[in-house]
Amino acid sequence: MRVIPGAWQRTADGAGLRAADGTIGTTIFAEMSGLAARTGAINLGQGFPDEDGPAEVLDAAMRAIADGVNQYAPGRGFPDLLAAVAEHQERFYGLHLDPERDIIATAGATEALAATLLALLDGPDDEVVVFEPYYDAYAAAVALAGARLVPVPLRWPDFQPDLDRLTAAVSDRTRVILVNDPHNPTGAVFTPAVRRRIVELAESHDAIIVTDEVYEHLAFDAPHVPIATLPGAGERTVSISSAGKTFSVTGWKIGWVSGPAPVISAILTVKQYLTYVNGSPFQPAVAAGLRLPDAFFEGIATTLREKRDVLGRGLTAAGFDVSTPRGTYFTVADAAPLGATDAAEFCRALPERAGVVGIPLTAFASRENRAEYATLVRFAACKRADVLDEASRRLSLLGG
């Protein structure tokens, strides 16, 4: 069989993995992490912490394993986790959810996104408006569903959308407006005006808002504001989050999706045929984490803000122009002052030049719009302070 037919081809195209000659490449994350391993470079590319999460959460997982919580969880998730998610949404945002009807536990936010998009999209006439640059899984899932991605660009250095361009992008064909806030890869937090306009457009075109809020507790300047809390938004918003970024357990893959019960039931119809269930002993551990005191959640944002500042100073000293992120793990820097014209080639050479790995922002953009981000590089600050100090020292060699 020369050509293997199937939806995998449009998924690969959506994620930008198919080269001009038709071959399928690896993701940029795999490529750059492989470079880090081969060269001994510090990996500031892929967004995973190098420290474990809180002891209370880790201990709860070990107790669950020892207590025999090792078989299938209920299809929606363990009731205690669903209750903890509902308590969390009420405690931090004043959102009232029925844990038995309005929430599903998922295999991380990625599965939650895939199940949501596969459930809500119905072919090539449906469009998904997304802010570009975007997490690559968005484009892959939209392509897998057979729908069309409509990007709205975010511009250096503050990475806020132009409201007129956003308005023009949304139409009666728009089935979903997909919002990642705080935003990966740029570190932006959208302004109140942007959030309000998203809700207005969704209402006027009868679209569903899907929010990826995995960095909700890593907003630096003010508490996170979920779109679901805005007037008129709750009835048409699906909110997604996960434990990985908040509790530094990215390998556990415990996420959740919440929203109006009829929409959640539609998503469950698809989700149950993806993983069915996952991570039984991790679910009670995440429930324990969601019930940690406010000081924990305040502390992780403060700690990462300090790391952001360390990384930003190091990048500035190395000669980059630096955008100051308002949240997430990530800082975007412009390598043009260092002579870069192609971020991907710059990042491929960086491990040998400076012993550090970053990710080109072009990896998060549609092929037709990559020139907009040609010299921008994403670096991750979610590493130990001593690692960031050493990375800054190594990057300083670029200016020598």
Alpha-carbon distances of 146 from 25, 113, 122, 141, 159, rounded to whole Å: 21, 15, 7, 9, 28
Q: What is the pLDDT of residues 188-234, one digit of tens each?
A: 999 999 999 999 999 999 999 999 999 999 999 999 999 999 999 99
Cα separation, 131 vs 373, whole angstroms: 13
Q: What is the pLDDT of residues 141-182, one digit of tens each?
A: 999 999 999 999 999 999 999 999 999 999 999 999 999 999
Residue 25's pLDDT band, with cuts at 50, 70 and 90, is confident
The mean pLDDT value of the chain amounts to 96
Residue 309's pLDDT band, with cuts at 50, 70 and 90, is very high
Nearest alpha-carbon partner for 43 in 357, 380, 383, 344: 357
Tell whether the model's pLDDT for residue 399 goes beyond 80: no
- Per the omega criterion (within 30 degrees of 0), is the bond before 74 cis? no
Residue 24's pLDDT band, with cuts at 50, 70 and 90, is confident
- pLDDT (mean) for 108-131: 97
Residue 18's pLDDT band, with cuts at 50, 70 and 90, is confident
pLDDT score for 235: 97
* Exposure string for 287-316, b = 16+ CB within 10 A, e = fewer: bbbbebeeebbeebbeebbebbebbbebbe
Cα separation, 35 vs 161, whole angstroms: 33
Residue 397's pLDDT band, with cuts at 50, 70 and 90, is confident
> DSSP secondary structure string, 352-377?
HHHSEE-EEGGGGS-GGGGGGGTTEE
H or E stretch at 321 = strand 321-322
Q: What is the pLDDT of residues 350-364, one digit of tens each?
A: 999 999 999 999 999
Residue 400's pLDDT band, with cuts at 50, 70 and 90, is low
Binning the chain into helix, strand and coil, the percentages to the nearest 5 are 45, 15, 40
pTM over 0.85: yes
Residue 372's pLDDT band, with cuts at 50, 70 and 90, is very high
Alpha-carbon distances of 16 from 4, 86, 120, 179, 317, rounded to whole Å: 18, 37, 23, 20, 33
Q: What is the pLDDT of residues 252-302, one digit of tens each?
A: 999 999 999 999 999 999 999 999 999 999 999 999 999 999 999 999 999
Residue 1's pLDDT band, with cuts at 50, 70 and 90, is low
Residue 384's pLDDT band, with cuts at 50, 70 and 90, is very high
Share of the chain above pLDDT 90, in %: 90
